Structure 1
Amino acid sequence: MASSTSSSRKRMAGGDGLTNDCWELVISKLEKEKKEEEESNHCLETLSMVSKQLLSISSSFVHSIKLIHNPSSSPISRLFHRFTNLTSLDLSAFRGGGDINALLSRIPPTSVSRLTSLNLSNQQTFPILGLRSILLKNCRLTSLICSNIAFLKFTDITFIADSFPFLQHLDLSFPRGGEGILVVEDDYNNAMNLLPQKLKLLRSVNLSGNFYINNSSFLQLCINCEFLQQVLISRCPFITHAGIAEAIHHRPTLNSISVTNFKEGLELENVDSYFIDSLTSL
């Protein structure tokens, strides 16, 4: 009798007494309650250790991963095969001296087929080869964050414009070594002007710290991107009051703009009524 009771408890603890559908409802309820306490991932991790059934079910509720080191090829394969409902992948803390291109190329198609957000910030290079591999499995990214990329070249910007037509959020802020690498100003501006021509669904853009961004580039962005709502162009020294005012005038949907350290200061003698009126229209 005691043995039978023990066996029954093990089945219940292991999840054998409920169907997958029932457990999905239970986990969904727990996840909803824990989200407010920011403990959702911890809850899923605990459940995943109960049984293989709950491991499989709880894995389907993981939609976001932040990878913080460079695992070997075997663990990375197991990791991504486990999580097949990913919509967000954050590699901004990816370390260990590994090749970011190789990492992206090893991700199985089932893990990126639903991916909509990718963060590649803080990398030494822009991983075109790895992204080409991702594009073979998914070309519907809506958010691409590439802040603090070392040696971001105009060819990288052109690749983004040509490859991700559904982008709504784009962050190319503060490329390291920009003035030393982006030495051909015309090529750089041509690449920047290509972005709004190809990425017409953009709603939020961060181009802060891009040294060669000028009034013309900013204006083209506002003219061509009819859904644009937010622009960050801090530390862009060739942006002027007049350029900001004209760009805002051409994009009535714009409701947020962040600018610092631009060509003229904000001293009273440098600010005209046209500039002030444009800001009040946001």
Structure 2
Amino acid sequence: MKRKRTISLNSSSITTRSKTRAAAAAAAAKFYLPDDCWESVFKFVINDKSKFKNRRYLNSLSLVSKQFLSITNSLNLSLTIYNGSRPFLRRLFQRFTNLTSLDLTWYDRDLNKLLCQISRFPLNLTTLTSLTCSRVDSLRSGDMCLIADCFPNLQLLDLSYCSYVSEEGILQVLRRCCKLRHLNLANCSKIELHGMNFEVPNLEVLNLSRTSVDDETLYMISQSCRGLLQLLLRSCYVTERGVNYVIENCTQLREINLRGCCKVHASFVASMLLSRPSLREIIVPSLRHFSVTEREFFKRHICLVY
């Protein structure tokens, strides 16, 4: 009798577990959300401008389930490559298929080998529109050609503090990456851009702070980059003549930074505004106390001057 009762209890337990699983499966099916819905939820929850906080949130969500891991992989749009990342590059690019931004700032090995490796991947990197190579001293002319080959749809390129980057390499990128909108060459001390004798129609932001640009450079820019919205010339050896080239020909210019340009006088600001009414922000060569009349003039032209 005891044996029969034990068998009966075991059967009852199995039946109960089966019913529980069936109920759980039914509940899961009832509350199932497709990937695109979860993606919208995650985007709403993670609505934070800090990419570091976003990465932390995505890492936490990816631990919940395989479905969440797959979704968070597709939401990760930026990748920073370190020295130890190179052996895993193929897997990283296969995992994060929607990358739009790549940061090589912390990679201080042979950049040419890294770019050659990336160029041989049978992957679609056309989604990548932003590349940061700030402070990469190993950057050479050949690397710039590889950058243009690997990332033809670049819209933002940051080469700030790249001491040895060549002018010819930069010109190659400008010729071939036709969608480039933002170029940062700050502190590339040898850059002059005298050879930019071709049109760069989509360039909107150009940072040439602390470079070797002069009035000839500004003339070339005024002819080649007429769609410029923002020009940064901090501590550059330019004069009012060169600045005037840009003011006259870059008809959409909204911001210009002249801090530290000792050959440009602050009194030149008023004539800049008269010549280019689109200006909304002017950082003058040196700190100056403007008169009430001058401040009223700037206010009428809706331009912040400081």
| TM-score (normalizing by structure 1) | 0.77
Q: Which residue of 2 aligns with 1:256?
A: 255
Query: How far does residue 90 in structure 1 lie from its aligned partner after superposition?
Result: 1.8
Answer yes or no: is 1:169 the counterpart of 2:195: no
Q: Which residue of 2 aligns with 1:41?
A: 55
Q: Deviations over 1:178-213 (max 9, x none)?
A: 35xx7xxxxx4433x33xx242211111111112x1
With over 3 angstroms needed to count, the CA separation of the structure-2 counterparts of 1:275 and 1:72, relative to structure 1, is closer
Identity within the alignment, %: 26
Answer yes or no: is 1:214 the counterpart of 2:214: yes
- Conserved 8 A contact 1:104-1:131: no
- Bigger CA radius of gyration: 2
| TM-score (normalizing by structure 2) | 0.72
Counterparts of 1:126-275 in structure 2 under 5 Å?
Answer: 126-175=139-188, 178=189, 188-191=192-195, 193-194=196-197, 197-211=198-212, 213-237=213-237, 239-264=238-263, 266=265, 271=268, 274-275=271-272
- Aligned partners of 2:150 and 2:159: how far apart in 1? 20
Q: Which residue of 1 aligns with 2:40?
A: 28
In terms of mean alpha carbon deviation, does 75-84 or 109-118 score higher? Answer: 109-118
In terms of mean alpha carbon deviation, does 241-250 or 83-92 score higher? Answer: 241-250
What is the letter of the counterpart of residue 190 of structure 1?
H
Q: Structure 1: state its 5+ residue gaps.
A: 183-187
Q: Which residue of 2 aligns with 1:185?
A: none
Counterparts of 1:83-122 in structure 2 under 5 Å?
Answer: 83-92=96-105, 94-95=106-107, 97-107=108-118, 108-110=121-123, 112-122=125-135
Counterparts of 1:68-83 in structure 2 under 5 Å?
Answer: 69-83=82-96
Query: How far does residue 258 in structure 1 lie from its aligned partner after superposition?
Result: 0.5
In terms of mean alpha carbon deviation, does 31-40 or 46-55 score higher? Answer: 31-40
Q: Which residue of 1 aligns with 2:65?
A: 51
**How many residue pairs get matched?**
259
SS in structure 1 at match of 2:84:
coil
What is the letter of the counterpart of residue 117 of structure 2?
R
Q: Structure 2: state its 5+ residue gaps.
A: 1-15, 280-306
- Aligned partners of 1:40 and 1:129: how far apart in 2? 35
- Aligned partners of 2:61 and 2:25: how far apart in 1? 14
- Aligned partners of 1:244 and 1:157: how far apart in 2? 22
What is the letter of the counterpart of residue 103 of structure 1?
L
Query: How far does residue 147 in structure 1 lie from its aligned partner after superposition?
Result: 0.5
In terms of mean alpha carbon deviation, does 77-86 or 272-281 score higher? Answer: 272-281
- Aligned partners of 1:246 and 1:235: how far apart in 2? 18
With over 3 angstroms needed to count, the CA separation of the structure-2 counterparts of 1:189 and 1:225, relative to structure 1, is closer
- Conserved 8 A contact 1:141-1:166: yes
- Conserved 8 A contact 2:134-2:161: yes
What is the letter of the counterpart of residue 167 of structure 2?
F
Q: Which has the higher contact order (CA 8 A, sep 6+)?
A: 1
- Aligned partners of 2:226 and 2:58: how far apart in 1? 41
- Aligned partners of 1:262 and 1:218: how far apart in 2? 13
How much is the aligned-residue C-alpha RMSD, in angstroms?
Answer: 3.2
